[in-house]
Structure 1
Amino acid sequence: MTGRAVITGIGVVAPGGIGREAFWDLLTAGRTATRTISLFDPTGFRSRIAAECDFDPAAAGLSPQQIRRMDRAAQFAIVCTREALADSGIELGGLSPERIGVSIGSAVGCTMGLEEEYAVLSDAGQRWLVDHSYGVPHLYGYMVPSTLAVEVAWEVDAEGPVTLVSTGCTSGLDAVGHGVQLIAEGSADVVIAGATDAPLSPITSACFDAIKATSADNDDPSTASRPFDADRHGFVLGEGSAVLVLEEREAALRRGARIYAEISGFANRANGFHMTGLKPDGREMAEAIRVALDRARLDPTDVDYINAHGSGTKQNDRHETAAFKRSLGDHAYKVPVSSIKSMVGHSLGAIGSIEVAACALALQRQVVPPTANLRTRDPECDLDYVPLTAREHKTDAVLCVGSGFGGFQSAMVLGRG
């Protein structure tokens, strides 16, 4: 029997507010959380803006030992996991540990911990031969991205499949998709799935500065993230996490769980073309959308809302606009499309799971988040991008897409549970 995966709990750490409700309030108000970087001195960088989380690990309930041991990305994931579990009302203690799985995505792992420790060991980069004795005992854990999934597994006492998915900017979508597969194949009854990234460090900023992918609109950070706008100049880095409780649908119904959404279809493809470039026809993303809809047993005309990747780069915005037209035909002009990156920035691997959380809330509350800062539409992006203001909208099926360096293209379909 094929299991059907539903979302019964949501936890979010995002720019502009900690927690699921603060996140949703920000989105529906159309507020932006982008600002001048405060986590390090950005002087001298081309792009000096980001969407930072106002996150206090102690106030969020982490112990001094956890704070000392965990990178910021792991701290985000644990806080989200706790919120998601409390939201779901599930008692994991009544389940066999072998039936609990974990699937966590991350594009850049423990970037902040690694960079901070390298600065100490190398005396701020002055020494080529570093002195390892100055490193923290958990330095090896920072080097191994799977540490993030392990921390979540320890938190929930999971002894089933535990996986770290790292596929660039589609990591969050792909990690949730992997969790859905574990439910479908019967490998787990409950999967804690999501993603986390805390990439706001000098090395990350330098990398994106080098390829001029990030916005340099430093004088007005609040309007710098402008997906689909003719005056956009690149994406705005962000950070954050979202974690979902996935359960087999019938089991969730038996225990009387509130169901946010069912994840009914998922597919991913790669373009085999270029590390950072995209073909303008959107063929690979369109193919992922087609397969995801087929698996959900839906027609293109059944899609009521599209949560776009919408990074705010010209090539991405035009690429996915073409993909929507290619996969949905004339219906692409009738369905609302929006990008929450306009408000919470682009948190690399984490953003996919944050967007899935937004989609689940949009289904439950029948409201479509807006695309903030969209005032002058790119004439090559001629769909309904829900500019500036959230919209009440009858929604039964949501399409959520992601696009990542390396040519990764992912699509997920969510329906009312």
Structure 2
Amino acid sequence: MNERRVVITGIGVIAPGGIGAKSFWSLLSEGRTSTRGITFFDPSAFRSRVAAEADFDPYEHGLGPQEIRRMDRAAQFAVVTAAEAMADSGLDLSGVAPHRTGVTVGSTVGATMGLDQEYRVVSDGGRLDLVDHEYAVPHLYNYFVPSSFAAEVAWSVGAEGPATVVSTGCTSGLDSVGYAAELIRDNSADVMIAGAADAPISPITVACFDAIKATTPRNDDPEHASRPFDRTRNGFVLGEGAAMFVLEELESARRPGAHVYAEIAGYASRCNAFHMTGLRPDGKEMAEAIRAALDGAKMGPQDVDYVNAHGSGTKQNDRHETAAFKRSLAEHAYRTPVSSIKSMVGHSLGAIGSIEIAASVLAMENNVVPPTANLHEADPECDLDYVPLTARDWKTDTVLTVGSGFGGFQSAMVLTRPDRSAV
């Protein structure tokens, strides 16, 4: 029996500097950055005071007062991007059995922003040791359980099949989509609404990354603070956002009027079982995930046209990732353009993996590789073609996109044009 092939037919994106897939791609292809000084709260007490914030108004995207009060900002992102993806796909779910439609949502920190805000309310700004719960929002429980994200999306589209939240650190957005694709391949679902959302720009998250000095202290130049693979990089820029996709089995996606963006040809995940935040310099585990994803796609290193890197902008990650590309792609690594969109939209933790899938798909759609912004001085240890500063016209039929997350998670996905893959 032929294996069911899984394709993307709808895309929805909320990213800093780009609300909606069209605006998001415009930002990337023009090489614009969306990093700035934090405006959501007073950041003066922190070491790192820059972030990539999304200019998102829930009312403009059709959410009512009750929904806004019930849902954390990240859940709002998930619901709005799911609606965009559904509209983009043109899929009429009334023709699909509800129990054959599922949802997966990735998130690293869940409803952190809502929890942070509500703690300030119930503790009277931190002055009360014994908090008064009667001041809390009525749906506070939803903030405590990230499963509410999947429930909100499922309710919004009428999906009655598998509904899951995937939380694997900064690979959550990749793993969520990879898991959804497996459900379709295994014939457990026909349609999946899949992606990830995170809204972590809150005092508690900023304080945590400050403590381990993972974020950049380049506060005097926020626009150029995120600089992956650059010799002068000194930490990542926290971001927020979401991307959701409509995933379908290929044959059913060939309906009149449907547009197939890409096939999820291969996916794999590994854990280094080494350190919560540390990475081995040889990139072995990420390289193994890449090889496994290529094997699943029945492709070799020479088939990869573009690599969408994790590229967080920390010295440890960028060197580890460079080593992984060399280890898995061999000499082809030196001939393949690589770039990091975190240079433009920051690092939105669990959401970024899905946002990077969107960037990868749109790169194929337009045959354009987005640049690594702010890359002026190449690190000698990062000696691959990192597409500095300006987007590049490039025939792109297959993209490898990768992620690396706290806890030792390493994930890789191969996206390709359906007519290129072996049937």
TM-score class, shorter: over 0.9
Give the conservation status (yes or no) of the 8 Å contact 1:364–1:416: no
CA-CA distance at 1:135 after TM superposition: 1.3
Q: Distance in 1 between matches of 2:41 and 2:195?
A: 27
Give the structure-2-normalised TM-score: 0.98
Q: Distance in 2 between matches of 1:155 and 1:256?
A: 23
Aligned to 2:170, what secondary structure does the other structure show?
helix
Q: Distance in 2 between matches of 1:53 and 1:256?
A: 32
Give the conservation status (yes or no) of the 8 Å contact 2:78–2:244: yes
CA-CA distance at 1:354 after TM superposition: 0.2
Aligned to 1:40, what secondary structure does the other structure show?
coil
Which residue pairs with 1:18 in the alignment?
Answer: 19
Letter in 2 for 1:105: G
Which residue pairs with 1:93 in the alignment?
Answer: 94
Worse-matched range after superposition: 167-176 or 124-133: 124-133
Q: RMSD value over aligned CA atoms? A: 0.7
Q: Distance in 2 between matches of 1:312 and 1:237?
A: 11
Letter in 1 for 2:187: G
- Consecutive unaligned residues of structure 2, counting only runs of 5 or more, are 419-423
Map 1:215-230 → 2, pairs under 5 A = 215-230=216-231
Q: Distance in 1 between matches of 2:59 and 2:369?
A: 34
Which residue pairs with 2:44 in the alignment?
Answer: 43
Aligned to 1:266, what secondary structure does the other structure show?
strand
Aligned to 2:245, what secondary structure does the other structure show?
strand
Letter in 2 for 1:67: I
Which residue pairs with 2:421 in the alignment?
Answer: none
CA-CA distance at 1:255 after TM superposition: 4.2
Aligned to 1:59, what secondary structure does the other structure show?
helix
Aligned to 2:128, what secondary structure does the other structure show?
coil
Which residue pairs with 1:372 in the alignment?
Answer: 373
Letter in 2 for 1:379: P
Q: Distance in 1 between matches of 2:85 and 2:132?
A: 41
Give the structure-1-normalised TM-score: 0.99
Which residue pairs with 1:399 in the alignment?
Answer: 400
Map 1:81-230 → 2, pairs under 5 A = 81-230=82-231
Q: Distance in 1 between matches of 2:87 and 2:167?
A: 27
Q: Distance in 1 between matches of 2:222 and 2:186?
A: 45
Which residue pairs with 1:324 in the alignment?
Answer: 325
Moved over 6 A (4+): none
- Consecutive unaligned residues of structure 1, counting only runs of 5 or more, are none
Pair 1:356 & 2:357 matched? yes
What count of residue pairs does the alignment treat as equivalent?
A: 417
Worse-matched range after superposition: 59-68 or 335-344: 59-68
Aligned to 1:112, what secondary structure does the other structure show?
helix
Aligned to 2:12, what secondary structure does the other structure show?
strand
Q: Distance in 2 between matches of 1:166 and 1:254?
A: 33
CA-CA distance at 1:95 after TM superposition: 1.2
Which residue pairs with 1:4 in the alignment?
Answer: 5
Q: Distance in 1 between matches of 2:90 and 2:350?
A: 27
CA-CA distance at 1:254 after TM superposition: 3.4
Give the conservation status (yes or no) of the 8 Å contact 2:69–2:137: no
Worse-matched range after superposition: 121-130 or 335-344: 121-130
**Cα displacement string for residues 223-270 of structure 1 (whole angstroms, at most 9, x for unaligned residues):** 000000000010000000000000000000134411100000000000
Aligned to 2:171, what secondary structure does the other structure show?
helix
Q: Distance in 2 between matches of 1:218 and 1:51?
A: 13
Pair 1:253 & 2:254 matched? yes
**Cα displacement string for residues 45-85 of structure 1 (whole angstroms, at most 9, x for unaligned residues):** 10000000000000111111111111000111111011101
Q: Distance in 1 between matches of 2:261 and 2:255?
A: 15
What fraction of aligned residue pairs are identical, expressed as a percent? 71
Aligned to 1:141, what secondary structure does the other structure show?
helix
Give the conservation status (yes or no) of the 8 Å contact 2:37–2:51: yes
Which residue pairs with 2:306 in the alignment?
Answer: 305
